Amino acid sequence: MIAKRNVLKPAAWLGALALVTAAGFVANGPAAAEGRAIPAPAVDESVGAGLETVTLAGGCFWGVQGVFQHVDGVTRAVSGYAGGASSTATYAKVGDGDTGHAEAVQVTFDRTKVSLGKILQVYFSVAHDPTTLNRQGPDRGQQYRSAVFASSAEQARIAKAYVAQLDAAGAYGDRIVTKVEQGQAFYPAEAYHQDYMVRNPRDAYIVYNDAPKVEALRRLLPDVYRATPALVSGAGG
C-alpha cells in the first residue's frame, strides 16, 4: 500500500475506525462520508454532442477519482496534478505542499448523458467538503485544496454561478472556499495512483475516507450512479 503524506499510518487508521461514535464522527475527523443533498445548478450548459473535460480538486485524488468513475456518462477520470509547473508534477514533490499543485482529477464526460452542472453537483455533494480550506479529512496542505480548474470561460461561469447559488442558499452552513481557475495545465499522476480505489478496496484509508463517498453517490444521486466504474486501465466502463 502506498503511504499517504500527512495522514495517519494504516495501523492508526484501523484503530481510528474503532472510535466511531453514534454521531458518525471520530476524534480525527468525519467517519463515513454521508454526503449532502444539495440543489442542482440553476445555471447549466445545454445538452450537446461530444466529450467535455473539467479538472476537479478536492483532497486526495484517490477518492475523487473513485467517485467520478461511478458517474454514468463519465468516460474517463484520471488522477493527477494541476495548478503548478510541469517540473514539479510528481507525487513526491507535490506532497511537500509548496509546488502550487493540487491533487486533482481530470473528468471527461459525454454531454449527451450528463451535463457539467450534474458533474459539479456530484463534486460539491459527495466528492469532497468544499468548506474546508487546504484540508480534507485527515489530509492537510495546499495540495488538498478545493478547486475547479475550468477548461473554458463557459465552464468557469457555470462553476462560479453554482458556488454563489449554494452560498446564497446556505447549503453548508459555512461558506464555500472552492476556487475557480482557468488556463491551468493538467499532468496525469503516476500509474500506481490510477484506479487506486478499485485496486485497493481494503486499504484502511479507502475504507474509512473514500468508499463511503461512492455509497453516498448511489444513495443521493441514483440517476447518475453506475455500479461498474470506468477505469483508466480500460477494464470496466
Residues 205-217 pLDDT 10s: 999 999 999 999 9
Q: What was the pLDDT predicted at 33? A: 65
Three-state DSSP at 67 gives: helix
Three-state DSSP at 25 gives: strand
Alpha-carbon Rg for the chain in angstroms? 17
Taking domain 47-220, whether its CATH number is 3.30.450.20 is answered by no
Single pTM value for the model: 0.88
- Residue identified by cell 444513495 is 219
Q: What percent of the chain has pLDDT over 70?
A: 85
Residue 142 scores a pLDDT above 90: yes
Contacts of 176 (CB under 8 A, 6+ apart): 124, 130, 131, 146, 163, 166, 167
The one catalytic residue among 56, 60, 224, 232: 60
Residue 193 scores a pLDDT above 90: yes
Task: Please say if 60 is a catalytic residue.
Answer: yes
Nearest to 60 by CA among 161, 135, 113: 135
Q: What was the pLDDT predicted at 68? A: 98
Give me the chain's average pLDDT, please. 88
Q: Spell out the domain ranges in the chain.
A: 47-220
